[in-house]
Structure 1
Amino acid sequence: MQKAFYSVAAILIFLILSAGVKAQRFAAAGKHLYKFSIAAARRHVPEAAPVMSHPKSRQYLNSINIRAVRDFMNRYNNVDNESWVIMEDGGFKAHYVANGIDYTAYYNKQGNWTNSLKIYTEEKLPFKVRDMVKREYYDYAIMLIHEIESFKSDSAPTYIIRMEDARSFFFIRIRDGEMNILKHLQKQE
């Protein structure tokens, strides 16, 4: 009788312990997009909950590589409204908006910064760049600017500027003081 009791108890303990291991393995195996905010996690508010609602898909603050978090905090030291996404390739993306500029920083699996993207309008464009564009294309309106920095370009910005007039629109790239047209399209009438 005692032998049967100990056998059943051992099996139950084994099942309980193995269930916890499967839960941890499931969280590590998922390759879905998860979104959460470090600032919200610090405040312990519901905003920190992931986008996916299934209980087994829950991700936590330590799901993001600490190297990426540290780099983000050094680059953007006064940000408290960022949201992080774990991308399908295992990398990370941090996004926030400040002063009318949309910022996104990208990191690889190891937490190393790969590039940053800023999206803004003409009034936020540096004077030197705006002056270069307007001297050449004074009849066109600057609609939107994408400013890209990457480790490959030694963090020197590349500007992709969308311009348009009544009949056409085109994209200009400015890099290292050189300007060229990427694409020129005619509007349909």
Structure 2
Amino acid sequence: MAILEVLSYPNDILRKKSSKVEKFDSKLHVLLDDMYETMMQRDGVGLAAVQVGVLQRVLLVNIPREEDGKQYKEDLYEIINPVILHKSDEIYWDEGCLSVPGFYEKVKRYKNISLGYQDRFGNERVLKAEGFLAVAFQHEMDHLEGILFIDKLSILKRKKFEKELKKAKIS
């Protein structure tokens, strides 16, 4: 297994749309395994393939457990070719991103979603998610469309982000 490079904003690849996965083979399995190792090494809760330079509709989400705050591999979701089937109840959630390190801001999302997707073997699945898990899926799915969470901010908050980014580059 390999630790992959996570692309950072403003890398142009992060703005590209990802393609549907057609082959559910060992190459895909290696990508999923490497993405998992990369996400865990970076203390992330989600990672989309585009963030490691692979333009395929693949994402991972692994939410820490409430009782101990730790992530367990058995809680890992490997989501391929996701589609939101239903969404309800808007909420604001404080988000960050491995591709936008050190910046956090509240983003409007849906509290409840139903998701259609395929697993690593191409089997069709449906799941329901709420709260943090639903938000994480929506955040990672945005990546597949070339959208970053900072794109969802107001102009004022976006300017604050750009200013912080410039300051970080100078220091």
Could you say whether these structures have the same fold, taking a TM-score greater than 0.5 normalized by the shorter chain as the test?
no
TM range (shorter): under 0.3
| Larger gyration radius, structure 1 or structure 2 | 1
Q: How does the TM-score come out when normalised to structure 1?
A: 0.23
* Structure of higher RCO (CA pairs closer than 8 Å, 6+ residues apart): 2
